[in-house]
Amino acid sequence: MSKSIHIVSFDVPFPPSYGGVIDVFYKIKALKELGVAVHLHCFKYGREESKELNEICESVHYYDRDRSRKLLFSRDPFIVTSRRSKELLKNLSLDEIPVLFEGLHCCAYLTAPELEKKKKLVRTHNIEHDYYSGLADVEPKLLKRMYFRREARKLERFEKNLSIANSILAISPADAKSLSGRYKNVQHVMAFHPYEKVSIESGKGNFALYHGNLEVGENIQAAMFLVNEVFNDLEIPLVIAGNNPSAALKAAVSRKKNITLKANISTAEIDQLIAAAQVNVLPTFQATGIKLKLLAALFRGRFCLVNSPMVANTGLESLCVMGETSAAMKSQVKKLFGEEFKLEEIEKRKLLLADRFSNRRNAEKIVGLI
């Protein structure tokens, strides 16, 4: 069995401060703990090179992502063609070590003749064409909406290249089911995350929290829903935390006395907010992949209030309080602010999360495949 692997990452996975790179970083960490030498290849487009990655990887290689607008006219998706590098292909072809491509984003060379004899795995973070269609549905700007629609069509066509992969590692049960209908060798490997155990603070919190990357359309939509339809006439405080909030969200929050926006704070500060909140309120209107913010709320937070697209087919439904409409969420928020988070709920989380979301167990699956 090989004890080495190449991992091609769509971004520099340190710091692990948003969903996709959280999965990549903690995957590398778990593989290292099993004695696997990871040769990391990552595309740069804003994040700095990281000495922390040198400590957990056998080698780290960086490639500049080409974001030229001319690539928008390529037959292949922009997220793929902007991550081509002759140097990457050369480095991957120098040995017989298996390759794990992180997302369709990194699959430009999945079908390359130079890698024909290599074992190739692909981690799917979403059904990408569905994800991009969802982004288009909530994008107010015409040009961006057109880009997302075109990208969705290209991604649906490009996805057929997954038939070349020896293994496809789907991040959620729903994605595994969807992909299994089109490809062989689909495995379900749950999301990697920073939490080794369930750790929830005693007592009660005095605010509700929504957190997410606030420059992503689906998160902006969820935050605006909470501002305008759930907490619009409640006295209960809501904190919204995340990177680069839109002007529209800032304006909406400024009109509400009970809502506070915390922009561009550190991962540690968000973790503290998750633990301190009485309720983590996490609606979504796009049921794709699995949301890492949901895992954060379940490992570290008290009550977790969601709608069905957030938890559908994840196996986590029983750990959350459900609210499908703004009225239902409003009612549940009021109710949960009068309750203590019980010890039996903590034990229930420990039992289910330790079984399904063990980084070590998931890393062992990958080692078995390589």
The radius of gyration computed from the CA coordinates of the chain, to the nearest angstrom, equals: 21
296-308, pLDDT tens digit by residue? 999 999 999 999 9
Whether residue 7 is predicted with pLDDT greater than 70 in this model: the reply is: yes
Whether residue 361 is predicted with pLDDT greater than 80 in this model: the reply is: yes
Pair of tokens at residue 146: 């057109």
Task: State mean pLDDT over 268-288.
Answer: 92
313, 80, 289: which is closest to 169 by C-alpha?
A: 289
Angstrom CA distances, 78 to 134, 142, 148, stand at 17, 18, 10
136-149, pLDDT tens digit by residue? 998 889 999 999 99
Whether residue 1 is predicted with pLDDT greater than 80 in this model: the reply is: no
The whole-number pLDDT of residue 253 equals 94
First to last CA, the chain: 7
Per-residue confidence at 289, pLDDT binned at 50, 70, 90?
Answer: low
Pair of tokens at residue 351: 């039992």
Per-residue confidence at 181, pLDDT binned at 50, 70, 90?
Answer: very high
Whether residue 41 is predicted with pLDDT greater than 80 in this model: the reply is: yes
**CA separation for the pair 212, 231 (Å, rounded):** 17
Whether residue 57 is predicted with pLDDT greater than 90 in this model: the reply is: yes
**CA separation for the pair 27, 25 (Å, rounded):** 5
94-148, pLDDT tens digit by residue? 999 999 999 999 999 999 999 999 999 999 999 999 999 999 998 889 999 999 9
Q: What average pLDDT is seen over the chain?
A: 93
Per-residue confidence at 225, pLDDT binned at 50, 70, 90?
Answer: very high
pTM of the predicted model as reported, rounded to 2 decimal places? 0.86
Q: CB count, 10 Å around CB of 213?
A: 16
Pair of tokens at residue 280: 């983590």
Task: State mean pLDDT over 144-166.
Answer: 96
Domains, the chain, with CATH or none: 4-194+358-369 (3.40.50.2000), 208-340 (3.40.50.2000)
Task: State mean pLDDT over 42-61.
Answer: 95
- Per the DSSP assignment, residues forming a β-bridge with 279 are 208, 303
The DSSP line for 175-212 is HHHHHHTT-SSEEE-PPP-S-SS----SS--SSEEEES
Task: State mean pLDDT over 154-177.
Answer: 94
